[in-house]
Amino acid sequence: QVQVVESGGGLVQAGGSLRLSCTASGLSFDDYVMGWFRQAPGKEREGVACIGRSAITTYSDSVKGRFTISRDYAKRTVYLQMNSLRPEDTATYYCAAGRSTVARCLRGIDIGYWGQGTQVTVSS
């Protein structure tokens, strides 16, 4: 049984930082592109960042330069380091895994597994 479990969300002031973690089990972690997505109330889900098998990464324009995605193969974990947070980053953040490319991952294509989400709230 595949499980994708996020942690690390919370409340932070604007300008602050948070690190999200996502651990995947029940799948061949090395073979999957891992990604982070977010959905704010009343808005569509959007891709935030994806990381491939050779540490190839891609980011949405809205987070480029502020967020960093990374993965630890030994721990089967992917991270999202979020710096310089803004109120508009407030959303539920979801981790995802797919047999895809980083470009297709960011568009939500070929995503096979989703986590349950973790809330990030940035106060002004």
CB neighbourhood size of 86 (10 A): 14
N-terminal to C-terminal alpha carbon distance within the chain: 40
Give the model confidence (pLDDT) of 8-24 as tens digits: 999 999 999 999 999 99
Cα–Cα distance measured from residue 26 to residue 15, given in angstroms and rounded to the nearest whole number = 36
Which tens digit of pLDDT belongs to each residue from 23-72?
A: 999 999 999 999 999 999 999 999 999 999 888 999 999 999 999 999 99
d(CA 114, CA 95): 6
Question: Could you read off the pLDDT of 95-112 as tens digits, one per residue?
Answer: 999 998 999 999 999 999
Nearest to 32 by CA among 106, 117, 116, 112: 112
Containing H/E element for 102?
A: helix 102-106
pLDDT value at position 55? Answer: 84
| Distance, CA of 83 to CA of 86 (rounded, Å) | 9
What is the per-residue pLDDT for 110? 94
pLDDT at 83: 98
Task: Tell me the average pLDDT across 68-90.
Answer: 97
Q: Which residue has the tokens 């999202």?
A: 80
